[in-house]
């Protein structure tokens, strides 16, 4: 069995207003080779949560083969969604409990795309405190903000 390569994925998403113009960004780092890849994008009208999810999806989609990934994000929504909520949502047909009834999961399209990527890559979630002087997290925050600035 060949050893999977291991990468660090730093992601961030944000909006000016929620909803409002939004941006996402990722930074992939390969610790063994120190190679880096970053990308970002934006949308005219979106939400913080959609941008946080998009950043992770775009980062994972940039990987060309199954990879061991440590995901660093300040988004509790993404982290808990991946590690706690998604298995229940899938079991309930992408629905979540609200009171006593099941309602559609918000951002279902993005959660399903993320779920597909999680079938390919082995992802471990590490929470990073936002705006805490973490260099890579600060970098993706800067890129995400720059990505939505053009819509202001």
Catalytic residues: 12-13, 52, 74, 131, 141
Pairwise CA distance, residues 36 & 38, whole Å: 7
Pairwise CA distance, residues 124 & 53, whole Å: 15
CB 111 within 8 A of CB 54: no
Pairwise CA distance, residues 22 & 148, whole Å: 5
Strand partners, 117: none
Structure tokens at 80: 């808990």
Kind plus residue range of the DSSP H or E element containing 34: none
Per DSSP, the chain holds a count of helices (H) and strands (E) of 5, 7
């Amino acid at each position: 069995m060949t050893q999977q390569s291991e990468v660090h994925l730093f992601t961030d998403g944000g909006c000016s207003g929620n909803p409002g113009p939004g941006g996402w960004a990722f930074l992939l780092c390969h610790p063994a080779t120190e190679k880096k890849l970053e990308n970002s994008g934006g949308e005219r009208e979106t939400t913080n949560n959609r941008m946080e999810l998009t950043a992770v999806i775009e980062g994972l989609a940039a990987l060309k083969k199954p990879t061991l990934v440590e995901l660093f994000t300040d988004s509790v929504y993404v982290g808990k969604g991946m590690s706690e909520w998604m298995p229940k949502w899938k079991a309930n047909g992408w629905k979540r409990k609200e009171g006593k009834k099941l309602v559609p999961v918000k951002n279902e399209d993005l959660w399903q795309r993320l779920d597909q990527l999680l079938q390919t890559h082995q992802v471990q979630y590490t929470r990073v405190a936002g705006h805490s002087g973490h260099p890579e997290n600060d970098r993706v925050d800067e890129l995400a903000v720059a990505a939505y600035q053009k819509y202001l």
